[in-house]
Amino acid sequence: MVTAVVFDVGETLIDETRMWQQVAKDAGVPAFTLMGTLGGLITRGEHHQRVWELLERNPVPGDFSSEDFYPDALPCLRRLSEAGFFVGAVGNTSASTEELLRPHTSFVGSSARWGVEKPSSGFFARLIAECARPAAEIAYVGDRVDNDVAPALAAGLVGVHIRRGPWAHLQETPAGAISIRGLSELPASLD
């Protein structure tokens, strides 16, 4: 029985489009070029930060704002909390993203603060420790199979593949994972 739900931040709770468009503008490259290169790197299984090497640019930081939440994100977080789930939000993000999410969740985590990135097993071990419950009771919701769903399943979590955002459509939902198209489908899928 699932008692905790932990969300990856990008493309699960937050639409990354505005942030990546601003990063492209700040880097002086077309948004399509930046996003296409990122997609290519993900498809090839390479780290997304390699984009700066390929585009011959210095890394440009990006950040999210409260305007970037998907319309179904905050209602889903509230609904799960009201139903008694322990709710978290984590990701390969800066510590400032934690502050954006903190008012809406039981706990937050970032690769910047934890010192470990997905898909590392150490990231998922930290997530399990933060939840303080058995891995089998934790559902992990993410858009990327390679970075979110597969490592969550390997850690013994319930893997939920949300099929939205550009990266979610590049990879097939693995066997044993739940597939949803939006967060409004999530509560029923956990029954």
Q: Give the pairing of strands 158-162 and 107-110.
A: unpaired
pLDDT for residue 45: 83
Helix/strand/coil (H, E, C) string of 106-149?
Answer: CEEEEHHHHCCCCCCHHHHHHHHHHHCCCHHHEEEEECCHHHHH
User: How far apart, in whole angstroms, are the C-alpha atoms of residue 51 and residue 77?
Assistant: 32
- Kindly report, residue by residue over 141-174, the tens digit of the pLDDT: 999 999 999 999 999 999 999 999 877 887 899 9
pLDDT along the chain (191 residues), means of 10: 96 92 96 93 87 95 92 97 97 92 96 95 97 98 95 98 86 95 96 80
pLDDT for residue 191: 80
- Tokens representing 176 are 């044993």
Element (H, E) at 31: helix 31-43
**Residue 141: strand pairing partners:** 7, 160
What CATH code would you report for 4-15+64-189? Answer: 3.40.50.1000
**What's the whole-model pTM score?**
0.93
| DSSP SS3 for 67 | helix
User: How far apart, in whole angstroms, are the C-alpha atoms of residue 117 and residue 72?
Assistant: 26
